[in-house]
Structure 1
Amino acid sequence: MTQPEDDIRQALNALIESWNTHDPEQLAASFTQDAQFTDVMGHAAEGRAALARLHVMPFARLFNSAELEVEQAPIKLVSDEVASVNLRWPLRGGATPQGAPLPPRAGVMHVVVVRRENRWWPTIPITPHLLRARA
């Protein structure tokens, strides 16, 4: 693995760790200021403040005890400043809005990562759909 790939993986790990805190502000801080986020339901947010607002209800009700992981994250360096990552994730511990447990599920998040301020930052994550529920 190359140094940029190691640094990108570090940024992605920080993203997953921040998601697992269930703190919308901490999650938003792991992205660029001008991030454009699209979730699995197609809801979009632009900028850290909007990204944090988008996650208030899900973290409070749906994912407050959920754990997100990374199964696989192939990295394609587009340039010295831009990379594309297809991050495969499993999720355990989600709940319905009524509080009933959901089965584990998995999906793919496509993430554009950029190099700014001497580090790599996720800037455009898109989770187009769930791949499957897991038994």
Structure 2
Amino acid sequence: MRLDTAGVAEAIGVFISGWNEHDLVRHFSVFAEDADFVDVVGRRLRGRAAMFADQSARHAQRFAESSVRTLDLDIRMVRDDVALVHYQWEMVGDRGPDGTGHGVRRGIFTFTLCREADTWLVVAAHNTESVV
């Protein structure tokens, strides 16, 4: 089995840096066109275009000054072309739904990525916020 954890980590890095640079095109560029995404409040979004449309308005307001950092990144190669990733994150700068701020938030993404030629793409993601 060819273990390409560096390529998987690079894709997750683009996801993170896209968020922190407030470049949602870059942020979602690592998702397959038909990817599935369950967001932190449990809504299921289907396809990169739906994800982008949903987050664009929120990112322009609530998340405009937010940034995330990695607490832990665990990559498990399921096959040479499939990876399972658990990405623990911490966010600051979230203004919250009412604009008053949320303080520090933490959570974990679970990503499934598939290699298409030499590119790793997220085909499914699930975000869960830690409440403790």
**Which residue of the partner structure matches residue 36 of structure 2?**
36
Contact between 1:18 and 1:30, CA under 8 Å: does it hold in 2?
A: no
Q: Please give the residue correspondences for 1:39-118 in structure 2 after superposition, counting only pairs within 5 Å.
A: 39-118=39-118
How far apart, CA to CA, are the structure 1 residues paired with 2:18 and 2:38? 17
Amino acid at match of 1:12: I
**How far is 1:3 from its partner?**
5.5
Number of the residue aligned with 2:120: 120
1:61–1:97 Cα contact (<8 Å) kept: no
Which 5+ residue runs of structure 1 have no aligned equivalent? none
CA distance in 1: counterparts of 2:21 and 2:33, whole angstroms: 20
- Residues paired across the two proteins, number: 131
1:18-53: CA deviation from partner (whole Å, max 9, x where unpaired): 122333333222211111111101112111111101
**In structure 2, what is the Cα distance between the partners aligned to 1:15 and 1:90?**
14
Choose between structure 1 and 2: higher strand proportion: 2
1:19 maps onto 2:50 in alignment: no
Residues 58-67 or 2-11, more deviating: 2-11
The alpha carbon displacement at 1:121 in A equals 1.6
Give the aligned CA root-mean-square deviation in angstroms.
1.7
Q: Which runs of 4+ in 1 moved over 6 A?
A: none
- Aligned identity (percent) is 25
SS at match of 2:21: coil
